Structure 1
Amino acid sequence: MNRPVLVLVSWVVAAIALIALAPSMGTSRDQEDFLPSHYESVRAGRIQEKSFPQQESAAAILVFQRSDGGPLTGADKDAVSRVTKTLDGKHYDTFKSVTGSPEAVSKNGKVALANAYSTEKDLGADPVLDSVKKLREDAGHLLKGTDLKLGVTGTAAQTLDANEATGDTDAMIMMATLLLIVVLLGVIFRSPLIAFLPVVLIFLVFMMAQGLISTASSLFDLKADSDNGAILIVVLFGVGTDYILFLLFRYREHLRSGQAPKEALASGVSRVGETIASAAGAVIVAFLALMLSTMSSMRALGPSLAISVGLALAAALTLVPAAFSLLGTKAFWPSKAWQRTPRNRLGHRIGAVTSRRPALVATVSGAALVVLALCSLGFRAEYDAGSSLPKNLESVQAMNDLEKAFAAGESDPSLVYVKSGNGGRLDASALTAFRKDITAVKGVDEVSEPVLNPAKDVARYDVVLSYRPASSEAIDLVSGTLRDTVHAKAPKGTEAVLGGTTAVFADIKNAVNQDYKVVFPAAGIAIALILGLMLRGVVAPLYLIVAVSLGFGATLGSTVLLFQKLQDASGLLFMLPIIVYLFVVAIGTDYNILLVARLREEMRKGRTPAEATRLAVTQSAPTISAAAVILAGTFGVLMLADNSMLQQMGFAVAFGILLTAFVMALLLVPTVTTLLGARAWWPSRNTGGKDSLRVADTDGDPDPTSEPVRV
């Protein structure tokens, strides 16, 4: 505060240096971004790369049908062959070949297939998607004059359609966030400067965070992925706005008490600084707990988020105060509302109810959270991203037609690799017997003849399942009976492993379940320690963690209730619990910390627990409400997308943030604290007790409600 210009210049210089000198972050979609090397699907992928380096993947599947839905005639089949050969002759950049065969016709004779094969490892890369787009255009022209219609599906086609249906999610989130912050800050403070200045400051921090993350990744060999941009945007703008609001509301409060601007700002920072630091510390340790994850992508995300929040904390305690120190009361221009204490009717009503009837409010709010949390027991994980896409997309309709005419797993077979243990050639008769064993497994529709590598020491089988590759039935089959059979029936002296998309999902399912047992408890313990250090007690951190856990369960349960029960969805996004953990548990804890810190502050002045609760809730309600609405509104925009998984994510986080703010932070936590009284801070004794009398405020902190206190 004494040298604001120096502070601002230092931040600008640091920002320029980081943005200009930091290395760029890479993007990767390898399996190892999800799973460590000891998982079987990853080992199968490595066998494929070593023994079948030129193996072609079907990036797109061409589904031919008659326009009238009837069986294909001889002329139709000739037209399919002609179109396929013409497309093959186009020599698309990322397609090695476009091929079909007379055998690739369904049993009912209504559907014929052709495949566009690619040797590209990443079928979601932009060049591959461009090839799919060009193939669709060319095929449309070639089919004119025939009775055929064509739908293109498969991995690359579905990715292309998903991208186009979703649009630029990062840009949508960024614009929605900026708009909400500007509008709400403008409404709250009635000042265009305050509406836009936080956005500018947070955007500067966001740019610095990207540079700092990429620099740290380069120096310490940490993994970072530019695809995490949307998450970084929401986290930084979410917590950054929270911390700025925490400071501005307290700054304005001290100005109204008659303090000079610099004195009011210094008092505000000293009062709320510890709260902001504790809130940021809780969020940082929660994010760092992701480093215990089994999945590499989560381990990489943890440090990136922790760095971002750490930078937001530094900005909140130095950059933001320096900016407002220079502006003084001009920051509130042209409004003079900062000079008057607002009516704050909502805060007064909530404060009055929580202080007068704490037992009733605690029972009702706690029961509501428990009931919603019980609904989370019905959570079913959904791994099929294609099922979340709009039904009118070409790839979705073509895949449905394919699955009706062929085995559901035809589009993406599982892969079985048999590897000789001593490097010798594999026995042909043993491979034939092994194929029969796999075919006998219930749920397996077809098993190809073994394909040998040039050295004849590795064989590959394509296994077509009776279920969709990403369905729960297919995942259960692959992780259970099929994988057990592959291991048990492997020819003597060989190793057999199961790979392919379904096997990857099966291993991800196991990894995620393991993470739930490790990451969540570790984060809970770390957050409890942070709260214990801030509150200098044991009891309050314990019931705060219980409240946070209830909030997590209630959020997940509400999403299950809406989408699985009311909308009859087959399942929810498998990453949803992790997403709720990141944004509801970690960031939502800020509101509890703000409320409890203020409550403790009021009790330290000698106020009774009930009176301290009334004052703390009354003054904290506007801050918590504004911060929660901004963050919830940002995610709520995702509910406008056609993608059901984005809708689930948007609802879960938006509703969870609102639940955390308005039910947990403003109702449950303060009423439990009121009921416990001084015991909430045990073993600390530096607080008022149940029978404490109000003492004079010797710290210059104003009474936020300007109302007489009854003791």
Structure 2
Amino acid sequence: MFRRIGTAVVRHPVWTIVAWLIAAVAIAATAPGLPSNSDESSFLPKSYESIRAANIQDKAFPSSFTPSATALYQRSDGGKLTAADTKDVARITVELGRKKIDQVQRVVPGPPSEDGRYTMTLVQMDDKSAGQPEQADAAAVLRTEVKKLTEGTELDVKLGGPAAEALDQQDSSERGEALIGIGTFAIILVTLLIIFRAPILAILPLILIGLVSAVANGVIAYATRLFDLQANSSISSILVVVLFGVGTDYFLFLMFRYREHLRAGDEPKQAMINAVSRVGEAIACAAGAVIIAFLALVLSTLGFLRQMGPALAIAVTATLLAGLTLVPAVVSLIGPKIFWPSKSWKQEPQGARFAALGRGMQRRPALAAGLSGLVLVALSVGLFGYNATFDLSSGSMPKSKESMVVQTDMKAAYSAGAAAPTDVYLTSDDEKPLDKSSFAAYAQKLGAVDGVASARLSTVNKSSTTADFTVTLKYEASSDRAIDTVAEVREVAHSNAPEGTVAAVGGLSSIFKDIDTAVAHDYRTVFPVAALLIMIILGLLLRSVVAPWYLMASVGLGFGATLGATVWLFQTVQGHSGLMFMLPVIMYLFVVAIGTDYNILMIARLREEARAGRSPREAAGMALWHAGPTVAAAGFILAATFATMMLAGNALLTEMGFAVSFGIAIAAFVMAMFFTPSLTALIGHAAWWPGHGDRAAESVTGSADMAAASAGRGAVPGQAQGPAPEQGPHKDQFADDLSRTRR
């Protein structure tokens, strides 16, 4: 199949390129805009208690609200607010409400702080568009107007709250995305120039992947509109990295193999056909593993991950199609001139490092497996110290942003939980009025929970069927202590609810508690499903039941090593209280799925060498020699590309950038180069049980192929055309070394 694809695009390169250009222009011109959502409650399905509580609030107390924005006032000199200051705040609050700003429904005064140095204005916005871009736009207008209204007073005002955080996060994301884009381009360009010393080849993938990016983003926008998905602000940054990182990987897989066939003496167009034929299956299987792993995210209970999965799967699918059609078509038109002005493509460098590594692998596979395995196990120890944090807003932008300053000031001025109190809704289960005589005792029991600063009856609805108890925690809403405390509040609220009533606990801490539960569910669901599907792909590729097990075991070790190293760096060294809660899920999928690319490429080459008649150890050595440079180059570029996310300036992308880049490096330079091939060499023919994937060529290929293989020329099995490579003596020497060791 892949030979037919290669033949078709090489014979009709112009039509292939034109088809891609038409598709890119048509899709980019007609695709709808990509929506965004940063509302934490949208992460969860309606079955969770925090969401049920929010629905009770909407039904029983339609006039009550959780502020979408908070204007925090203090005197410019830092002193206590005077009567004149209080009067100014009241005036500003009234005038702000009269502005009739889009999305703003109510503007009301908030409580002063106990020390008399701060007071607030609370702003209600349309909860139907919570987290949407229009509320960030409204926050921008609010921020401008409230600052204008304070001119001429002794007051200093800052705007915080969810809408303001969304605005600041948007600004931070735009800056971060620009830095990520520039860094990604620079890394790919410079690395390819160093590897190939060919400017055309270095620039080409950037141009082609840019074209693919237009197609992928348009299709994602269509899918988002069609299936009513939402897009988180971090997805666009991740998409840039995935498209250019994975796209460059597949470009390198193809170009290294194309160069190898040119060195073997193939005519240029035939060299591209043979390259697609040989490496196409590995690229397709590698992309299939990534796509399936991303699609497994639809099983997540978290909206953010469920929305991200299809978008990333579409991006990788577009990249795969380009790798098998667009790239071969363009390169076949350019021909060997793509390597200009370098002439190193004509012959293998003498004393190649990967040839030496291959000889070492062949001679001591147990040592290679032991040392690489020890590195993975040692790093994995750190994962036992992992702790999750749920502060999404501060995790996604610098502390210097205005909304973050408001959050910090409110923690100091009010009870840490005052900015986002917990609400306990007591509802009659038979629609009869509640017995108000039990309210005082109920509030007292809620207030007695360790970690609760105060608990009081806030209001009762008109029909007296629902009562709202406001519980103020001692801790900031997203902290571990607040989440633990709200779990205890739930237990007390449920167990002490008066007869005939049902309690539901809502608020931001309650949402985070449910997110924590949802993440635990995803660990038990998404991880195993993704692993199983990837194993099936590996089994189909390798026609083996044994190989997928130890390949996935090695990937699991790589995941553990990556999470352990991330814990040590951010929690132990930098003193972070924890890592962002969704990091292990994202890291697992990127490291397991994309990291499996390199295992697939290496093991596919190892099988190819084994089919040429080599022993398991010889095949491992030859695979490392031939596939090692590709894995090293691709792994370095992809790891460095993900590392550009650390330039974004926020904790979430910094942690994600380090974890994924480190995981990719582990996957490429430890697992694929040493651990996997050495294990395969040690297991021998049993690795391909119950089939004979490493010996299939004996019954399929002709005698010419076997003669070439036995001569040690490193010929590609099944390829009858083309003379021996110019560097044949060097390959003969390597094969002789392997043979002597085997004897």
TM superposition score normalised by structure 2: 0.87
Q: Distance in 2 between matches of 1:306 and 1:81?
A: 52
Task: Please state if 1:699 is matched with 2:727.
Answer: no
Alignment of 1:477 with 2:502, yes or no, is no
Amino acid at match of 2:502: E
Show CA shifts across 1:418-454 (max 9, x none): 3332333333334444333322322222234332334
Correspondence for 1:396? 404
Q: Distance in 2 between matches of 1:216 and 1:165?
A: 26
Distance 1:299 1:398, change over 3 A: closer
* Partner secondary structure for residue 674 of structure 1: helix
1:188 matched to 2:195? The reply is yes
User: Does the C-alpha gap of structure 1 residues 497 and 673 become closer, same or farther in structure 2, counting only changes over 3 Å?
Assistant: same
Aligned-partner residue type, residue 416 of structure 1? V
Deviation of residue 10 (structure 1)? 3.3
Cα distance in structure 1, aligned partners of 2:402 and 2:215: 41
* Contact 1:420–1:493 (8 Å) recurs in 2: yes
- TM-superposed CA distance for 1:246, in Å, is 0.6
> CA–CA distance in 2 between the matches of 1:94 and 1:105?
25
- The residue number in structure 1 matching 2:450 is 442
- Return 466-475 or 84-93, whichever deviates more: 84-93
Alignment of 1:84-103 (within 5 A): 84-85=93-94, 87-88=96-97, 90-100=99-109
Code of the residue aligned with 2:423 in structure 1: it is L
Question: Contact 1:608 / 1:688 at 8 angstroms: preserved in 2?
Answer: no
The answer (yes or no) to whether the contact 1:29–1:122 under 8 Å persists in 2 is no
* 1:461/1:346 CA distance change after superposition, 3 Å: farther
Q: In the alignment, what sits opposite 1:223? A: 229
Superposed, which structure 2 residues align to 1:643-658 within 5 Å? 643-658=650-665
What is the SS of the residue equivalent to 1:172?
helix
Q: Could you tell me which residue of structure 2 aligns to residue 598 of structure 1? A: 605
Tell me how far 1:98 sits from its aligned partner: 4.1
Q: Which range is displaced more, 178-187 or 209-218?
A: 209-218
Between stretches 654-663 and 342-351, larger displacement belongs to 342-351
| Corresponding residue of 1:38 | 47
- CA deviations on 1:45-89 (whole Å, 9 max, x unpaired) are 222333333433323333334455444455554554455455455
1:63–1:113 contact (8 Å) kept in structure 2: yes
Partner of 1:247: 254
Q: Does 367-376 or 58-67 show the bigger shift?
A: 58-67
What residue identity is the alignment partner of 2:19? Answer: S
Q: Structure 2: how far apart are the matches of 1:344 and 1:51? A: 78
CA contact (8 A) 1:186 1:192 kept: yes
Instruction: Report how far residue 586 of structure 1 moved.
Output: 0.8
Q: Provide the residue aligned with 2:4 in structure 1.
A: none
Q: TM-score normalised to the size of structure 1?
A: 0.91
Deviates more, 1:427-436 or 1:560-569: 427-436
Contact 2:293 2:534 in 1 (8 A): yes
Change (3 A) 1:75 1:318: closer
The match for 1:357 among 364, 385, 404 is: 364
Residue deviations 1:564-607 (CA, integer Å, cap 9, x gap): 00111111111111121232111111011111111111122122
CA distance in 1: counterparts of 2:468 and 2:592, whole angstroms: 45
Contact kept? 1:62, 1:150, Cα under 8 Å: yes
How far the C-alpha of 1:348 sits from its partner, in A, is 3.2
AA matched with 2:532:
I
When residues 37 and 96 of structure 1 are mapped into structure 2, their CA distance, relative to the original with a 3 A threshold, is closer
3-state SS in 2 of match to 1:107: coil
Distance of 1:269 and 1:426 partners within structure 2:
73
CA 619–77 in structure 1, closer or farther in 2 if over 3 Å, else same: same
Q: 1:440 to 1:677 in 2, by over 3 A?
A: same
Deviation at 1:218, TM superposition (A): 5.9
Quick one: distance in 1 between partners of 2:35 and 2:406? 33
Shift in CA distance, 182/142, structure 1 to aligned 2, threshold 3 Å: same
1:555 and 2:562 aligned: yes
Q: Is the 8 A contact 2:36 2:132 kept in 1?
A: no
Contact 1:224 1:304 in 2 (8 A): no
Q: Secondary structure at the match of 1:409?
A: coil
Q: How does 1:627-646 map to 2 (within 5 A)?
A: 627-646=634-653
Asked if the contact 1:129–1:160 (Cα under 8 Å) also holds between the matched residues in 2, the reply is yes
CA distance in 2, matches of 1:653, 1:165: 21
Alignment of 1:347-386 (within 5 A): 347-386=354-393
Matched with 2:433 is 425
Mapped to 2, the partners of 1:609 and 1:345 lie a distance apart of 22
Is contact 2:179–2:648 with CA below 8 Å preserved after alignment?
no
Unmatched segments (≥5 aa) in structure 1: none
User: Residues 505 and 548 from structure 1, CA distance in 2 versus in 1: closer, same or farther, beyond 3 angstroms?
Assistant: same
What amino acid sits opposite 2:436 in the alignment? A
SS in 2 for 1:496: strand
Q: What is the CA-CA distance between 1:387 and the residue it aligns to?
A: 4.3
Out of 73-82 and 379-388, give the one that drifted further.
73-82
Aligned match of 2:700: none
Deviation (angstroms), 1:554: 0.6
Q: 2:594 corresponds to which residue? A: 587
Give, in angstroms, the shift of residue 469 of structure 1: 0.6
Q: Cα distance 1:127–1:314, how it changes in 2: closer, same or farther (>3 A)?
A: closer
Provide the C-alpha distance between the structure 1 equivalents of 2:245 and 2:54, rounded to a whole number of angstroms: 39
Query: Following the alignment from structure 2 to structure 1, what is the Cα–Cα distance between the partners of residues 60 and 295?
Result: 38
Q: 1:615 aligns with which of 601, 622, 643?
A: 622
Task: Within 5 Å, give how 1:537-556 maps onto structure 2.
Answer: 537-556=544-563
Residue of structure 1 equivalent to 2:62:
53
The equivalent residue for 1:12 is: 21
Change in CA separation of 1:208 and 1:127 when aligned onto 2, cut-off 3 Å: closer
Deviation at 1:562, TM superposition (A): 0.3
Residues 34 and 295, structure 1, Cα contact 8 Å, conserved in 2: yes
CA distance in 2, matches of 1:500, 1:566: 33
Q: Does 1:626 align with 2:625?
A: no
Is 1:466 the equivalent of 2:474? yes
Q: What is the aligned residue count?
A: 705
* 1:501-520 → structure 2 map (5 Å cutoff): 501-520=508-527
- Alignment partners' CA distance in 2, 1:128 and 1:225: 15
* 1:159 corresponds to which of 156, 166, 174: 166
Who is 1:325 aligned against? Answer: 332
**CA offset at residue 182 of structure 1?**
2.8
CA distance in 1, matches of 2:214, 2:95: 48
- Shift of the 9–117 alpha-carbon distance from structure 1 to 2, 3 Å rule, reads closer
- Once the two structures are overlaid, the 10-residue window that deviates more, 489-498 or 82-91, is 82-91
Superposition CA RMSD, Å: 2.9
Worse-matched range after superposition: 402-411 or 339-348: 339-348
Segment drifting more, 221-230 vs 442-451: 221-230
Q: Which amino acid aligns with 2:231?
A: D
2:294 aligned residue:
287
Paired letter, 2:603: V
Instruction: Note the 1:166-185 alignment, pairs <5 A.
Output: 166-185=173-192
Q: Give the direction of change, closer, same or farther, for the CA distance of 1:17–1:642 in structure 2 (3 Å limit).
A: closer
1:27 to 28, 31, 36: 36
Q: Is the Cα–Cα contact under 8 Å of residues 41 and 511 in structure 2 kept in the other structure? A: no
Residue-by-residue CA offset, 1:301-349 (whole Å, 9 max, x unaligned): 3333333323322222222222222222233333333223235744234
Q: Distance in 2 between matches of 1:79 and 1:8?
A: 66
Q: Is the 8 A contact 1:35 1:295 kept in 2?
A: yes
Q: Of 674, 686, 708, which residue of structure 2 is paired with 1:679?
A: 686
Instruction: Give 1:397's aligned amino acid.
Output: V
> Are the structure 2 counterparts of residues 313 and 449 from structure 1 closer, same or farther at C-alpha, using a change threshold of 3 Å?
same
- Deviation (angstroms), 1:271: 1.0
Distance 1:321 1:141, change over 3 A: closer
Fraction of identical pairs, as percent: 45
Distance 1:70 1:577 in 2: 45
C-alpha distance in structure 1 between counterparts of 2:635 and 2:180, whole Å: 16
Supply the distance in 2 between the matched residues of 1:36 and 1:506 (Cα, whole angstroms). 13
Distance 1:245 1:127, change over 3 A: same
